[in-house]
Structure 1
Amino acid sequence: MTTPVRRRDAAATRKALLDAARRRFAADGYASTSVRDIASDAGVNVALISRYFESKEGLFRACLRGTVDEIKQSVLENLPLTDPPRQIAEKLAGPQTKEPHRLQLLLRTSGDETAERIRRETLESISRRVATAAGADPDDPGVLLNAQVVLSAALGVLILRSAALQPLAAADQDQLTEPLRVMIAALLPG
């Protein structure tokens, strides 16, 4: 009698590794997270991390890239915008992320120089995208500074909403859009 061969599902394995890594990196930080822990959480062999991501660093990059993609899709999609401050504000005030640990990846210091560089580059990329979405020049240092202030405020809103801080957490999209629009218009007039 032959043992049935279990088919591999590369996409499911990759997703399981990414989900486990996001949770571990967010909870424990880059330096304290081992690839063995991630593989164990995902229920796969540790060698698959090298196969799909080359290294722990590659896996971390993939996690951050996924976070950036989520932000782009939820906040900065459909460019160019006709009324950038209002449209960006509406997106920021909309439904919260389903996976708050993704956001924590962008904010948690890791103690690892390489991970910190990747994180900074990711945040700068998002800031540049915010400036571009607002119709401003992301190569202008003053504009980039203002875009980073907008990003800081947006991240703060997401964090405080996820912490259930009232009345912010209970505010709906209409209540949040106008104050965010005013802030964005003042900082990034385009």
Structure 2
Amino acid sequence: MTSPSPTTRRRDAARTRQLLLDAARQRFANDGYAATTVRDIADDAGVNVALISRYFQSKEGLFEACLTSAVDDMRRAAGTATLAEVPERIAEQAAGIDSDGFPRQLVLLLRSSGDARADEIRVGILRTYARNLAVLAGWAEGDDDLLLRAQITIAASLGIAMLRSKTELEPLASATKEQLVGPLADLVGAVLSKKPAT
């Protein structure tokens, strides 16, 4: 019997790493960091628990990788959005891109890990998103009002995702992307419109 080629091993490693990321993202978003064990994640992924240490060093490392992966996915989905396209992009994320309609990527950004480094990354990601949104609305360095407005928009988006994932508040819980776009366009337009100085 021949041993697997280096290419096969690399492909299997990449697949195993992705299985662990997918399982961890689902567990962390659904159950929270503290309630999730590495054994839960490994069982969900169908792999040996020791592989978490091999690929991610620790539970904290896996949580950090989940955040980074979620942000990369969201960045790809957002692309080079204009301010007019922001409501649709938020609606896509809030409506859930997973097969069960659960907005795990947004919810994951709300989850505290208890690990200072992972939480620092999470806050940094939120800060960057708010700054990018403010730039789309015409922000310049020192414009704290517009930056605050962008942060409020991000907070509202995360609140929508959290309510959709954790409550049965209808019609919000079952609203489609198309149904969310209109109200989100009103929200983004109202909050990010600069009020003239009086």
The normalised TM-score by structure 1 is 0.75
Q: Are residues 1:92 and 2:90 paired?
A: yes
Native 8 Å contact 1:136 1:188 kept in 2: no
Q: Could you tell me which residue of structure 1 aligns to residue 171 of structure 2?
A: 167
Q: Which runs of 5+ in 1 are unaligned?
A: none
* Deviation for aligned residue 1:3: 8.1
Q: How many residues get paired?
A: 184
Query: What does residue range 39-188 of structure 1 map to in structure 2 within 5 Å?
Result: 39-74=42-77, 76-79=78-81, 81=82, 84=83, 86-94=84-92, 95-98=95-98, 99-137=102-140, 140-162=143-165, 163-173=167-177, 175-188=179-192
Look up the equivalent residue of 2:181 and give its one-letter code: T
* Deviation for aligned residue 1:144: 2.3
1 CA distance for matches of 2:75 and 2:35? 29
Alpha-carbon RMSD across the aligned residues, in angstroms, is 3.0
Distance 1:57 1:105, change over 3 A: same
The normalised TM-score by structure 2 is 0.73
SS of the equivalent of 2:113 reads coil
Distance 1:4 1:111, change over 3 A: closer
1 CA distance for matches of 2:141 and 2:179? 29
Identity %: 49
Deviations 1:55-93 (A, max 9, x none): 33322111011222233333x3224x2xx1x31112223
Native 8 Å contact 2:91 2:180 kept in 1: yes
Q: Could you tell me which residue of structure 2 aligns to residue 16 of structure 1?
A: 19
